[in-house]
Chain A
Amino acid sequence: MHPPDSGQPDNLAPVEMSIAEQVSSQVKSEVVDIYEELLINIWNKIVPTLGQVTVSAIFDRAIHRTIKSHSFIEYLKVNRSHLDFTQLREHLTERDKTNIKDGFKDLVTNLIDILAKLTGNILVNVVMQEVEGFAGDI
């Protein structure tokens, strides 16, 4: 017996749900991919000027500030030489796409705010150029 408003058999519903989940997961993963590339580009742009230790500390503080409004950002780990997205990807299923986007936007905003307070326009211009390059994607 088929549902009245569906032309498909019952046993296809779980498959559809599974596909929908996978598509949603892929979309979320793509969002993370985009912001991962952006943040790594920013990292690489400012490291030659500030050094790894200082850049790590600045990213760490930007993440700390963002956690207050978007707790999932705590899974983004900073170490001495790079940003580690492994744990954050593992916790993607708990969030929706909009929430993830908003979290990353806040993170980039906090990063720019800290850099502006520390370095004036010197590095903010460099970072803004990177962000503008990603404008269509984010």
Chain B
Amino acid sequence: MLEPLDLERLAQVGSRLSLDPLASERELIQTVFDTLQTPMDAQIIGLLLLEAPQPGLYYTAHEPPTVTLCQQLEKRLLSVLDSLLTPEEMPQSLEHHPLPGCPQAHKFNLTEFIGLPLVVEGRIAGLLFATRAKLQPNFTAIDLTLLGMVCGQLGVTWKVLHLNRQLAEQNRQLQALNSYREDFIRNLSHDLRTPLTCILGYAELMQQYGERLKPEQNTEFVGQIVIKSKSLRLMIDNLLDFGDGQEQNIQVETVNLSECLRQARIDIEPLLAEKQQRLLLNVPVFLPPVLGDTVLLVKVLLNLLHNSQKFSPVGSELLLEAQHREQWVRVCVRDRGPGVDPEALERVFERFRQEGLRPVQSSAEGLGLGLAVCKDIIEAFNGRIWAENRSEGTAFCFELRLAT
């Protein structure tokens, strides 16, 4: 029977569960058990939890039940659950989590049992229950009402706890994203300014000295302006593509891959010359047409070549390979750079690298978006792209489906 004091405690349940800062589900369960103990005068108060963070059987009892009694309790609970859940929803095993509490020193038996489903957002997340021993009075409708009220409040607070946790996680992600954005803008300013400063420098030299420059100096300065302008254009293109993301409307058509390779090779030559690098070709005379887009495939090749060029030492050789394999054509750009950390190989194409949330290769010249753009393009053509470490350097490869 509920006493006035119990009713007062019950009145406090709502505010305690809703307003107290509860850090974990376990703390919440303990609060519910503490609240129910005195008014329920129960031998055991428990919660069979079906979902995360830690499914299992939580209960307070005067003394730890024996193995046999635990089995009896489990059997009883599973019998109740069997009427509430589908076979797929039934728990496979029940891990026991005894909690402190329940001063009633009645010998454990399952004479009296009441339980109610813990409903969270319409789904059954657990079963809140209480038991009484043989010598105790039977449960009444008032006990059931008390259990029902606490169960209802527990369902609401459970949801609030999860929402609070989601909110905290979203806040953390937003802060990380904000930090990334700041880094990105800082890198962006630096990376765009570097080639622009060179262009401006050579242009000013030509403006200042004009006809006094020797022809070979003129040629060199113009060459440098062209190289840096191309590098700048590639960065800006990548930045625009990055902004477009998946929304860009890519048309798939039959493409002459040999022509793409030829164009990319011509475009990359000035950048290679800057570091006295050479591009070696291992491409069959005849390559079958593939499914793609000429402009975008040249962009992919240029990005891969530029990436390898940046990380290869002065005077080194780059290798551009192409192979026809059944229904695919494989293209690889191989460099003599320092290689990629094996664990990071799968992440080099990610837009947002998890390591410190910094742009890919932000330390080198370039925005670090080139590989992410390549992945977007190749996957839009139903191809695949990957990186692999070779005995010396790294190979960046992609495969495209034949047009036939």
Q: Does A54 contact B84, Cβ atoms closer than 8 Å? A: no
Q: What number of B residues sit within 8 Å (CB to CB) of A?
A: 26
Which of the segments A82-90, A100-108, A115-123 contacts the partner chain?
Answer: A115-123
Tell whether, in the assembled complex, residue B113 and residue A65 are in contact, meaning their CB atoms are under 8 Å apart: no
Q: How large is the interface on A (under 10, 10 to 19, 20 to 34, 35 or more residues)?
A: 20 to 34
Residue contact B80 to A117, C-beta cutoff 8 Å: yes
Q: A50 to B148: give the CA distance in the assembly, Å.
A: 5
Distance (Å) between the CB of B368 and the closest chain A CB?
51
Give A contacts to B, CB under 8 Å: 48-51, 53-54, 56-58, 61, 64-65, 110, 113-114, 117-120, 122-123
Q: How far is the CA of A117 from the CA of B113 in the complex (A)?
A: 9
B88 CB to closest chain A CB (Å) equals 12
Interface residues of B in 67-88 (CB under 8 A from A): 79-80, 83-86
Using a CB–CB cutoff of 8 Å, the interface residues on chain B facing chain A are 79-80, 83-86, 112-117, 119, 122, 124, 138-141, 144-145, 148-149, 151-152, 155
- A122 touching B114 by the CB < 8 A rule? yes
Number of A-B residue pairs, CB cutoff 8 Å, is 64
User: Within the complex, which residue of B83, B112, B115, B141 is in contact with A61, where a contact is CB–CB below 8 Å?
Assistant: B83
Report which of B83, B113, B115, B122 forms a contact with A113, defined as CB distance below 8 A: B83
CA distance A110 to B116 in the complex (A): 16
Q: How far is the CA of A118 from the CA of B139 in the complex (A)?
A: 12
Name the one of B79, B139, B145 contacting A117, with C-beta atoms under 8 angstroms: B79
What are 22 A-B pairs at a CB distance below 8 A? A49-B144, A49-B145, A49-B148, A50-B145, A53-B119, A53-B152, A53-B155, A54-B116, A54-B152, A57-B117, A58-B84, A61-B83, A61-B84, A64-B86, A110-B83, A114-B83, A119-B114, A120-B113, A122-B139, A122-B140, A122-B141, A123-B144
Given contacts A61-B83, A114-B83, A114-B84, contact A54 B148 (CB under 8 A): yes
Shortest CB–CB separation between residue B44 and chain A, in angstroms? 15
CB-defined contacts of B115 to chain A, threshold 8 Å: 118
Task: Give the CA-CA distance A51 to B155 in the complex, in Å.
Answer: 12
